[in-house]
Chains A and B, each alone.
Chain A
Amino acid sequence: MIGQVPDAKGRYGDFGGRFVPETLMNALIELEQSYLKYSADEAFNAELNDLLKQYSGRETPLYYAKRLTEHFGGAKIYLKREDLNHTGAHKINNALGQGLLAVRMGKKKVIAETGAGQHGVATATVAALLGLECKVFMGEEDMQRQQLNVFRMKLLGAEVVPVLSGTKTLKDAGNEALRYWVSNVQDTFYILGSAVGPHPYPLMVRNFQRVIGDETRRQILETEGRLPDTIVAAVGGGSNAIGMFYPFVRDGNVRFVGVEAAGKGIDTPLHAATMTLGTKGVFQGSMSYLLQDEYGQVQPAHSISAGLDYPGVGPEHSYLKDTGRAEYVPITDEEALDALKLLCRTEGIIPALESAHALAQAGKIAPELGEDKLLVVCLSGRGDKDVESIMAYENKGGDAQ
């Protein structure tokens, strides 16, 4: 059912590829060659693994959420605690990998796009650690909703470049980062934060994030002696989800559920439900599902979670959807907020709004499964960054943004 993807052209079935201006093509080819070389290099991998362990604090726990399990009454729920990583989210896994690659390639400057600010913070952190100059492109609207992360990036010595074009959110931050890269391609490494963009980014990001799934696999086998029945993860661009799913892709009995943002509801225009409502199109360098109008203009997305507020999705997710290997479901702002509060009260963990979408879906699935079933939720990040925007949302009676 699932072939070896991507192929040599970076294709995942109909999806993926490399749709960028000619100026970037050689840079992408060079990046692909360097990545392939170093991903097979023992010293590179030893250095990365050492940083993941000593610097980021891996491996992260696979935590049995007993009280949450009891609350839902059904499958046994495990949380993969990516929120316990240094910088508070899974983004550091990829930023460390790409940062080390930048150093190996002799680049002294790195750039990144960010939505919620988690990838920006991770990149700023890695840049500080490795002595690289760092610019982070961030939509002005996201800078408003994630002021704490903006300040963190500045503390870490990065320059935060406000993006005023288009919808002033993650998609435009990505456009601006690509435009900057076109102009500075000779000395700058673009640390792309999700499993999107032109080949080799979706491949590279997946492989730097697969540590999530690799650890989970080992941990659940140790604890339960068997593989989970269902894995749930939030999908914006889809890097935590693909990193979690990929090591299980050939385990046909493990069901994958990707959770995307339904915003105010998929029957309203204010959503980011790319898989549920999108169509195939080319966006930011690859072919994938996309929120667009019938004329091919990209439509603005909406979600309370800045990290899911994106009209595209990684090409490998589109492939997993079309092959039927994974299913993708929408969760609204309200449902995510309820799930966030529930986890705070039952487990004493404040999850990121992004991860709360996965938790909300887990709450729907768990009761349908028997108590003998195992459900793993990727808790991709912690929620400290969201506290302010949740307060604003509550104060305005649900009409924040």
Chain B
Amino acid sequence: MNMQPNPTRRTALNPASESGLSSGAAEEAVFADTAAAFPRPNAIEETFRRLGERRGTALIPFLTVGDPDIETTLEIIERLEEAGADVLELGVPYSDPLADGPVIQRASARALQQLITVRTCLDVARQARERGVKMPFVLFTYYNPVLQMELDAFFEEASGHGISGLIIPDLPHEEAEEMLERADRANIALIPLVAPTSSERIDKILRNGRGFVYCVSSLGVTGERASFHEGVDDFIREVKSRTQLPVAVGFGISGREQVLRFSGLCDGVVVGSAIVRTIETLIPELMNADKREDALLQIREFVAELKV
């Protein structure tokens, strides 16, 4: 992928946004070449590029920030990197997580008891960097918490605190225009989601894609599952054929076998609920000073097992 600064694109973007124009023509010019879109290299795309050179599959774990508390989240993040995680999804807890199954709903509820906000999550990213964590961070958040923080403040803090990507599961591309423009200016990748039901929408979604493409493996909410959507392999191949961006698969991937199943088809796998459930099971140990180290080690081993 061409990660060089693209002066043509800058001049294409700025006049349009500064004059308040958002005509189709200006948009076409801006998004004409997705692969060369970023004026500066984005850490997520760099990571995928490095992995691509040695044909590796990116392991993208997810955790809910503040579950069970902030210090534990920070220590888990360090263990995830040691275990081989390439990119980390930091989940912002939300009162009404529509796209999530019971496991992440429960984690959200626990984290909300700790009064975790978008700002807390951004601060966790900053603290993790201070502790030496290098992998790129993707913030996974529903739209409303970001909207209430106000977009100016959000992007300023997000880029200052080492966030490279953003996943907003309830913001389809039709509603994402302003978000996309701001994310782009902050050099934060607004990661597009495509679902098995997206069909003819795929091209429109991918046209604005940054970072990587998140393929939703199955119909449904997040959570572990025994089987995937029928035709999921064809779906992933189709998405791959339509974009130069790396493609990651998520929703329902919970074990090494499933990671292996998808690693040949795509560039990355997202593992969420299985990790969150592992954390949930270990909460009593994590809260017990004598057993804490052992519990953290178990989480690390669970994730290391997923690295292929």
Q: Which residue of A lies closest to B225 (CB)?
A: A183
CB distance from A25 to the nearest CB of B (A): 5
The contact of A175 among B96, B117, B145, B172, by CB within 8 Å, is B96
CB distance from B175 to the nearest CB of A (A): 6
The 8 A CB mask of A143-185 against B (1 = contact, 0 = none) is 0000000000000000000000110000100010011001111
- Among B17-25, B27-35, B51-59, B216-224, the stretch in contact with A: B216-224
The 8 A CB mask of A1-40 against B (1 = contact, 0 = none) is 0000000010000000111111111110000000000000
Q: How many residues of B contact A (CB 8 A)?
A: 37
Given contacts A19-B170, A20-B170, A23-B216, contact A182 B144 (CB under 8 A): no
- Among A90-98, A226-234, A249-257, A295-303, the stretch in contact with B: A295-303
Contact A295 B148 (CB under 8 A): yes
Contact A171 B195 (CB under 8 A): no
- Among B131-139, B197-205, B236-244, B293-301, the stretch in contact with A: B197-205
Complex Cα–Cα for A285 and B142 (A): 11
Given contacts A18-B174, A165-B105, A171-B96, contact A297 B197 (CB under 8 A): no
Q: Find chain A residues with CB under 8 A from B144 CB.
A: 281-283, 290, 292, 296, 298
Contact A298 B221 (CB under 8 A): no
Q: Which residue of A lies closest to B141 (CB)?
A: A296
Tell me the residues in window 173-196 of chain B with beta carbons closer than 8 Å to chain A beta carbons: 174-175, 193-196
CB distance from A308 to the nearest CB of B (A): 19
Q: Is B39 an interface residue (CB 8 A)?
A: no
Q: Find chain B residues with CB under 8 A from A25 CB.
A: 172, 174, 195, 197-198, 201
CB distance from A128 to the nearest CB of B (A): 27
Contact B216 A22 (CB under 8 A): yes
Q: Find chain B residues with CB under 8 A from A281 CB.
A: 144, 147-148
Complex Cα–Cα for A175 and B143 (A): 15
Q: Is B112 an interface residue (CB 8 A)?
A: yes
Contact B148 A296 (CB under 8 A): yes
Q: Is A294 an interface residue (CB 8 A)?
A: yes
Complex Cα–Cα for A283 and B95 (A): 10
Q: Find chain A residues with CB under 8 A from B105 CB.
A: 165
Q: Which residue of A lies closest to B193 (CB)?
A: A22
CB distance from B219 to the nearest CB of A (A): 5
CB distance from B154 to the nearest CB of A (A): 11
Q: Is B265 an interface residue (CB 8 A)?
A: no
Given contacts A296-B144, A297-B95, contact A19 B219 (CB under 8 A): no
Q: Is B98 an interface residue (CB 8 A)?
A: yes
Contact B148 A182 (CB under 8 A): no
Complex Cα–Cα for A21 and B99 (A): 7
CB distance from A272 to the nearest CB of B (A): 16
Complex Cα–Cα for A284 and B197 (A): 20
Q: Find chain B residues with CB under 8 A from A54 CB.
A: none
16 contacts between A and B (CB under 8 A): A18-B172, A21-B99, A21-B172, A22-B194, A25-B174, A175-B98, A178-B98, A179-B99, A182-B221, A183-B220, A282-B144, A284-B98, A294-B148, A296-B94, A296-B144, A296-B149
Question: Given contacts A23-B195, A182-B99, A296-B118, could you give 14 more A-B pairs where the C-beta distance is less than 8 Å?
Answer: A18-B174, A19-B143, A21-B99, A21-B172, A23-B220, A166-B95, A171-B96, A183-B219, A184-B219, A292-B144, A294-B148, A295-B117, A296-B145, A296-B149
Closest 4 CB pairs of A and B: A296-B148, A296-B145, A183-B220, A23-B195
